[in-house]
Structure 1
Amino acid sequence: MSTIARQEYLQQITQRLVLFTGVVLTILSLTLYGFIRRSSCELPDSCEPRSYLVVLVFVTGLLGGFVSIQQRLPSIALDELKVLAGSWISITLIPINGGIFAIVLMLMFVGHIVQGALFPAYPAPGDFVINDAESFNRWITGAYPVDGVEVAKLLFWSFVAGFSERLVPQIIRRTSDELMAEKREGEKEVNKPEKEQ
């Protein structure tokens, strides 16, 4: 009986995940299409190219979270499956977190908090001056990696951020720990007696 119940719960959870992901992707696609249609120019010379890469980053993180939970479902205990099958929030939280973590990771790349050959290269943060809503909109639609290879890296890491839900919190925790250690070292330097300096 537990095998049949397990299969029923797995099927119910998978159906809900597919439905949720499909609805989110449809809504985001229609929203993106609406933005693109609305921003189409009446005069060809007045157009400014736009990128909604942040939406793709969110969707890629969402898909990473979806794949992650699908991979883990067979190893989840029957009691947990029963809880998941009865709760939309429990099922959808992992993919939503994946999308959010992907955006946070993108901001770490843009801010040059996370750098290296494996990570996407962005223009220097100082290239964007943000002092009003319009400049923020220019930044959010214009802050993207320097070329296509870097965009591919961004989308890969967005998927990883959704798939491995501990990755982004670990990066944040490690960065915070490093900043606190630097602060303590700076305070030690300031508080040293004069003859030691």
Structure 2
Amino acid sequence: MKKYETLVLGPIQANCYLLWEDHHVMIVDPGSKNPAVREHIESAKGIVDAIVLTHGHIDHIEGADFWAKEYGCPIYISELDEPLLYDASLNCSAMFKEAFTLKSKVNNIMPGIQKIGAFQFHVYDAPGHSEGSIMLEWGPYLICGDVLFQMSIGRTDLPGGSNSKMTHTLQFIKKLSPELIVLPGHGPATTIQEELLHNPYLY
């Protein structure tokens, strides 16, 4: 049975998602080492299959090393955003706080239907906020990182950002099922339908 939990982590208040397939867990965008992650997983006797990063900015990756070691699980990110993990300027940690680079090796996640552990996703390339931003369609959910927010979109002025590519990505989002529940990288959940009706960037 699919379900998700949202944990708001780190000083920039990024959403970390725990995706559940029965007792199997996927950690999406662990932005810190906050023990709430462990508490939620262990209280339900979760088995962590992997960590997936929607993109490579600091507020979504800072806990990845810690949790990968804690659970002995692989980390996945798009090939285009992998360089951000190892460069404090590109991942914006040098801008916001102490410089951070990932120590772990990672696996690249490709667009299309992908299976990781107990989880099957449709992975979409979604450049604009960063060159290698991805979205994951998982059952009724669209986990979209910092591409789309309730009534807003991700900024395009950080390294790898592009207004023109964001525009293209938003045109793609408009073609997705309006019933999809959007799980963004910051702020509350929404739906494609609600954003089509009220988000000025999707008019």
TM-score normalised by structure 2 residue count: 0.23
**Which has more strand, going by share of residues?**
2
Q: Which structure has the bigger radius of gyration?
A: 1
**Which has more helix, going by share of residues?**
1
Query: RCO greater where, 1 or 2, for CA within 8 Å and sep 6 or more?
Result: 1
